[in-house]
């Protein structure tokens, strides 16, 4: 047996190890496109700490909490500039006044947030008060400054026409992303079809974030293929989906 053959054979990895390495590399790539969150009213400080730990370990794109804890998360993530602290505006209903949303954005920026997810005024959208919706988002865009701004439209509860209008209003107002859902309505999860509708309306003029009901890597990959750029997942789901990175 030649020395060359023995050497190359010794360096060969079993196929199972190669597959595991490839899977972990793919998970790492997906983590960089994923926001994790603790935005339920009943989440505890321990769960917020677990979210921060997971964000650092897996290198998630951002970590979101309710506003009362935004400065705490931002402080913990400060040594890791590639992981953003995220804040929510008019969450989850979207019915705050424009001036309230403007002040929330300002306060979250002062707390150290670099990404802001605001909820669109859906009553106004569905009532065809498009100018109000446009000005509402534009005000938050102004307050957000250089922060990444995502607008949540609750796509699972809108018609195709309403989704199309919502996407175009987000684009006109200067938002960075359209987000499918707050994830607060379990009976109305985001599905691949919603991503496709948003993508068709967006025509690559704005990025897309999926949130609400994302439970499997297969769903994430299908949404990614349909045009989704970012994924929002709760801490409990994220720990299950990305456990191989631990």
Residues 6+ apart with CB under 8 A from 11: none
Asked about 209 being catalytic, the answer comes back as: yes
CA distance 181 to 24: 28
One of 35, 96, 117, 147 is an active-site residue; which one?
117
* Cβ atoms 34, 60 nearer than 8 A: yes
Is 203 designated active site?
no
Among 200, 195, 192, 178, CA closest to 125:
178
Where are the alpha helices (H) located in the chain, listed in sequence order?
3-11, 15-31, 45-58, 70-77, 98-111, 122-126, 130-144, 160-173, 192-202, 217-226, 235-241
Which pairing describes strands 177-179 and 148-152: parallel, antiparallel, or unpaired? parallel
**158 near 201, Cβ under 8 Å?**
no
Task: Point out the residues that are catalytic.
Answer: 117, 179, 209
């Amino acid at each position: 047996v030649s020395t060359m053959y023995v050497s190359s054979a010794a360096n060969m990895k079993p196929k199972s190890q190669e597959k595991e390495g490839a899977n972990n590399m793919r998970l790492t790539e997906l983590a960089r496109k994923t926001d994790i969150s603790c935005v339920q009213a009943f989440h505890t400080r321990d769960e917020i700490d677990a979210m921060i730990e997971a964000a650092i370990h897996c290198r998630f794109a951002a970590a979101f909490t309710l506003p009362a804890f935004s400065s705490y998360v931002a402080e913990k993530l400060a040594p890791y500039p590639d992981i953003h602290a995220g804040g929510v505006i008019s969450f989850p209903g979207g019915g705050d006044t424009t001036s309230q949303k403007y002040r929330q954005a300002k306060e979250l920026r002062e707390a150290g947030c670099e990404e802001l997810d605001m909820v669109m005024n859906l009553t106004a959208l569905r009532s065809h008060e498009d100018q109000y919706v446009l000005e509402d988002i534009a005000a938050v865009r102004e307050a957000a400054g250089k922060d990444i701004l995502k607008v949540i439209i609750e796509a699972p509860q809108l018609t195709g026409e309403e989704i199309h209008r919502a996407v175009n209003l987000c684009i006109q107002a200067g938002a960075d992303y359209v987000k499918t859902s707050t994830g607060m309505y379990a009976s109305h999860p985001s599905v691949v079809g919603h991503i496709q509708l948003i993508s068709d309306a967006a025509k690559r003029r704005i990025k897309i974030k999926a949130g609400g009901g994302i439970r499997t890597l297969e769903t994430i990959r299908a949404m990614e293929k349909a045009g989704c750029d970012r994924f929002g997942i709760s801490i409990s789901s994220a720990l299950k989906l990305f456990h191989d990175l631990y």
